[in-house]
A = this chain, B = another copy of it.
Amino acid sequence: MKNNFFEAVKGKLIISCQALPNEPLHSSFIMARMARAAKMAGAAGIRANSVVDIQAIQDEAGLPMIGIAKTDYPDSDVFITPTLKEMRAVAATGVEVVACQVTGQRRPHDEKLAEIVQQFRTEFPNTLLMADTDTIENALEADRLGFDMIGTTMRGYTPATQGMNIADHDFEYLKELRSQVTRPIIAEGKIDTPEKLKRCLELGCHAVVVGGAITRPLEIATRFIEAIK
Q: Which residues in A have some Cβ–Cβ distance to B below 8 Å?
A: 11-13, 15, 23-25, 27, 29-30, 33-34, 36-38, 40-43, 194-195, 197-198, 201, 210, 213-218, 220-228
**Minimal beta-carbon separation of A196 from chain B (angstroms):** 9
Query: Cβ of B218 and Cβ of A41 under 8 Å apart?
Result: yes
A-B contact pairs, 15 of them (CB 8 A): A24-B40, A25-B34, A27-B29, A30-B30, A30-B33, A37-B217, A40-B218, A41-B217, A41-B225, A194-B224, A197-B227, A201-B228, A214-B220, A217-B217, A220-B220
Measured between beta carbons, the chain B residues less than 8 angstroms from A13 are 221, 224-225, 228
Measured between beta carbons, the chain B residues less than 8 angstroms from A213 are 220, 224
Looking at chain A's contact residues, the main secondary structure is: helix
A38 to B12, CA, bound (A): 30
Query: Cβ of B27 and Cβ of A226 under 8 Å apart?
Result: no
**Minimal beta-carbon separation of A171 from chain B (angstroms):** 15
Query: Cβ of A37 and Cβ of B15 under 8 Å apart?
Result: no
Closest chain B residue to A217, Cβ basis: B37
**Minimal beta-carbon separation of A198 from chain B (angstroms):** 5
Closest chain B residue to A30, Cβ basis: B30
**Minimal beta-carbon separation of A17 from chain B (angstroms):** 9
Query: Cβ of A24 and Cβ of B37 under 8 Å apart?
Result: yes
Closest chain B residue to A202, Cβ basis: B228
Closest chain B residue to A29, Cβ basis: B29
**Minimal beta-carbon separation of A57 from chain B (angstroms):** 12
Measured between beta carbons, the chain B residues less than 8 angstroms from A43 are 221, 225
Closest chain B residue to A229, Cβ basis: B42
Closest chain B residue to A43, Cβ basis: B221
Measured between beta carbons, the chain B residues less than 8 angstroms from A24 are 33-34, 36-37, 40
11 new A-B contacts at CB < 8 Å, known A41-B224, A201-B228: A24-B34, A24-B36, A34-B217, A38-B217, A38-B221, A41-B218, A194-B224, A194-B226, A194-B228, A214-B217, A214-B221
